[in-house]
Amino acid sequence: MQLPSGLLHYTTPLGAQYSGDSRLLLQELTAGSVDLFVTSPPFPLLRPKEYGNPDQDTYVAWLLEFLRPAHRALKPDGSLVVDIGGAYQRGLPVRSLHQFRLLLACTDRLGFHLAQDFYWHNPSRLPTPAQWVTKRKIRAKDTVTPIWWLSKTPHPKADTRGVKTPYSASMRRLLADPRRHFAPGPRPSGHTVSAAFDADQGGALPANLLTMPNSASNDAYQRSCRNRGIRPHPAR
């Protein structure tokens, strides 16, 4: 990759960080060279953050300026993972459809496949907009953000064995004493559960619901910002 050296922020043995308008930086990438993009772009929020937020009407066209060169730069088995927050329409207890319009534009216009939809569940999200959620109490608290995993082909490079999750307490009991806690055979759901379930795989299969609060006030990121006198990012 040949990028203007003025945009180079720092390097480590693992790679380099460049800072700049990613619409331009993405164009510099060699076609078909990238395994994975992970991005959380600005969302069309009604209450803009200090870094600026595009509006709902022009959102998809604006974001395609980034995703088109990203698609070109991806390897055939590469993936693009994009986290897209939701928003209400101005003045109405009605949701904006930009997350879904973006997904359809990526599949129908850029040729991406939806490899899988993930959801970030943030239990500590504030109950906004106050008008609908806390004052009039006509809408539930919004705590879930979709994450679209897009791929160039139906078979992007993937292996969930690298992201197993800890077993639940009941699964640990089952693994410790399968005869007592596990009976293979048909379940009321119509599924037949086989004995293979009792083998310890070193962790559980990961799910597409990622539960992570972002309100910790003394985590490694916050401490590091404090130690260096840096203001934490408003959308960490």
Nearer to ligand SAM, 41 or 178 (CB): 41
Nearest to 178 by CA among 195, 156, 159, 161: 195
Distance of CA 157 to the CA centre of its chain: 17
Q: Name residue, tokens 């050296």.
A: 5
* Residue 227: CB minimum distance to ligand SAM, A: 18
Instruction: Provide, rounded to whole angstroms, the least separation between the CB of residue 48 and ligand SAM.
Output: 11
Interior CA angle at 144 toward 91 and 224, to 5°? 105
Q: Which of 219, 213, 217 is nearest to 125 (CA)?
A: 213
Choosing from 44, 54, 69, 83, which is the catalytic residue?
A: 83
User: Is the CA virtual torsion 149, 235, 88, 130 positive or negative?
Assistant: positive
Query: What is the enclosing helix (H) or strand (E) of 113?
Result: strand 113-121
**Could you tell me the smallest distance in angstroms from the CB atom of residue 134 to ligand SAM?**
24
The strand order across the sheet containing 74-83 reads 34-39, 74-83, 144-151, 113-121, 209-211
CA 28 to chain centre: 25
Q: How far is the CB of 234 from ligand SAM (least distance, A)?
A: 8
**Which residue, 128 or 153, is less far from ligand SAM as judged by CB?**
128
Residue 179 Cβ, how far from ligand SAM at the closest point, in Å? Answer: 47
User: Which is closer to ligand SAM, CB of 121 or CB of 233?
Assistant: 233
Tell me which of 41, 42, 127, 178 is the catalytic residue: 41
d(CA 195, CA 183): 8
CB of 39 or CB of 153, closer to ligand SAM: 39
Q: Which of 22, 40, 55, 127 is catalytic?
A: 40
41 is catalytic: yes
- 40 among known catalytic residues: yes
Residues 6+ apart with CB under 8 A from 61: none
Q: Kindly list the residues in this chain that would bind ligand SAM in the complex (CB under 6 A).
A: 21-23, 40-42, 51, 233, 235-236
Nearer residue to ligand SAM within complex by CB, 21 or 35: 21
Instruction: Report the catalytic residues.
Output: 40-41, 83
